[in-house]
Amino acid sequence: MKLKKILNKRILILGETGSGKTRLTIEIVKFLCSHGYSKDITIIDMAPERMHGIGGRIKDFLTKPLPVRYLTPPNIYPPRTLGKNREEVIKYAYLNYMALKPIIAQFIKNSTRILVVNDLTIYLHAGPLEDILECFKCSETVIANAYYGTRLIDDHGSGISKREKELVKAIFTCMDWVVLLSKEGIKLLKSAESEGNAKQR
């Protein structure tokens, strides 16, 4: 890790369930904290509690809290895991949206230089992409992770899986780095360096 590759950049970490998205995000936050940026960091944790090896809030992976501002609602539901039919999946997605909406508004009103978002896709199931982009605009540095896989594709016909994939792809355009984690390793889907070289050419 190098500060110059993180600070003033927008980084999106993608992967299947259990691919290490949250752990990598935590390592980046710890790295920034070790260089004196603790007071500049806000984490918006959108993840549900870990269930059947899926999901997990940042605090679930820590032995002690990170010295940063941490925003998360009391309850977040994994729609596709809990929902038994289309209506239930949509209900849980909407409940998540309503729980996270005031937290996003709180951050926009009182932002920090560095924004970290865990499990961004939870909001995108029912919430507008514009809210997320507005959050990103409020910070100089953004580190976000999002589900990007096939294990959770069955959404009981609710349409949230398709919406999730389309909106995550739409976010690519405003990111400097897009990193995909898989069993094969780390793949760069978008690189700030290659983008910069292309512009120079």
What the chain holds in terms of domains, given with CATH numbers, is 3-200 (3.40.50.300)
Residue with tokens 């897009």: 178
**For a pLDDT cut of 90, what percent of the chain falls above it?**
79
Query: What's the confidence (pLDDT) of residue 185?
Result: 84
Instruction: For residue 17, give the nearest of 145, 111, 200 by alpha carbon.
Output: 145
Query: What's the confidence (pLDDT) of residue 200?
Result: 34
* pLDDT band at 86; cut points 50, 70, 90: very high
Q: What is the mean pLDDT of the chain?
A: 91
Query: What's the confidence (pLDDT) of residue 199?
Result: 37
pTM exceeds 0.85, yes or no: yes
Phi, psi of 173 (to 5 degrees): -65, -25
* pLDDT band at 33; cut points 50, 70, 90: very high
* pLDDT band at 49; cut points 50, 70, 90: confident
Query: What's the confidence (pLDDT) of residue 184?
Result: 82
What's the whole-number mean pLDDT along residues 151-179?
Answer: 94
Query: What's the confidence (pLDDT) of residue 53?
Result: 62
